[in-house]
Amino acid sequence: MPCALWILIASKRAELTNISTGETMINKVCSVFLLTISFFVLFFSPEITLSSDNVYKVGLQDRIFAVHFLDRRNGWVVGDGGVILSSKDGGKTWKQLITAWENSFNDVTFVGKRGWIVGDRGIILHTEDGGDVWERQESHCQASLMAVDFIDGKRGVAIGQQMVLWTEDGGLRWQPSPLDWEAILPEALIERGVISPNLYDLFFLDETRGWMVGDNGMVFISYNLGKHWELLSIGMYPPLYSVFFKNKQEGFAAGQGGTLLHTKDGGKTWRNLSLPTEKNLFKIKLTGDYGVAAGDLGTILQTSNGGKTWKLLPLALRPPPPWFLDVSLIMSDTSVKAICVGEGIIREISIPASSSLAN
């Protein structure tokens, strides 16, 4: 499996760090010609436009890294090889955007019609019109950006390879947050050669609370929309790939080896939940009492009691089962629809929003 990112979780979030599960890191090989064309188009052509009306069929060659639904009908996915797809029918069909970018787009988010996509080599794309036209924003960095989150149309944060960027003007200007890793990291980690850890995910509850997670069980909190960060936890757990908070006190973090952590004090202390899997977990999302954790080898965990207990959701998947890297939850009056994306797959899972969700 090609490795566009870091923690190779079976092919994703890994170009920067090895995971101690025996997975092999494989560097992507790009030709000089394609890199030159990509550079020219993205830097000298400001717009990226929709393709024809042809429906895009996701195949085994596709590696989808992130999904975001604005509402029940309109959604976006991004992935390796410059893949950007949009849906206007709740994920039943997808159409592709034409880009010259051949590397990874790693995350996508929207606030109303304003959207952002982040990826390798510091790329940030932005739309003002719901995705009809995208323009590049200057990040002033070459780091791989793994996650992006906005609380409104102006204020947002992007994180990645030892890098945190923040903006207060919708991305017209991205500025780095000061992170002194030598001062932050414990001496024991530095002695082991950990001097530039990677950051994988972030979640902002509001303008006063935001969290990010990364290597070595790192958990940070920001009280000012990403300008400054305070270290809450490090070294006690394996790499953490996803974070989600229900409120200012209660939250979850998911990671390597079936790690699913729960906090009731804003992230100061964590408890490792007992799970029916030891597979890597790459994304956790909740809406109300219902939640999903998605991971390696077709792993989908669900909860219907706010995260107190989790159970495996059996799926009929063609072997070898793919990894799932992200999930978007869509609520209706009668059901919860989870759109899970990953290795050659966009999978819709519908769960009745009733007693059938009981664990």
Rounded Cα distance, 182 and 160, in Å:
18
Of all residues in the chain, the percent with pLDDT exceeding 70 is 83
CATH architecture designation of domain 32-357: 7 Propeller (2.130)
Q: Is the peptide bond before 320 cis (omega within 30 degrees of 0)?
A: yes
pLDDT, position 41: 40
pLDDT lower than 50: segments of the chain: 1-46, 52, 355-359
How many Cβ atoms are within 10 Å of 178's Cβ, its own excluded?
9
- What's the sign of the alpha-carbon dihedral 159, 163, 168, 172? negative
Rounded Cα distance, 359 and 357, in Å:
6
**CA 342, chain centre distance (Å):** 11
Rounded Cα distance, 19 and 35, in Å:
28
The CA-atom distances, in angstroms, between 18 and each of 1, 9, 11, 152, 231 are: 14, 9, 11, 35, 23
Domain residue ranges of the chain, discontinuous segments joined by +: 32-357
The CA-atom distances, in angstroms, between 147 and each of 118, 188, 305, 344, 351 are: 7, 28, 27, 21, 27
Each residue of 280-338: pLDDT tens digit? 999 999 999 999 999 999 999 999 999 999 999 999 998 999 999 999 999 877 788 99
Question: Is residue 296 a contact partner of residue 302, using CB atoms and an 8 Å limit?
Answer: no
pLDDT, position 48: 55
pLDDT, position 333: 75
pLDDT, position 49: 53
pLDDT, position 353: 59
- What's the sign of the alpha-carbon dihedral 318, 293, 217, 207? positive
Q: Structure tokens of 110? A: 């929207």
SS3 121: helix
pLDDT, position 102: 79
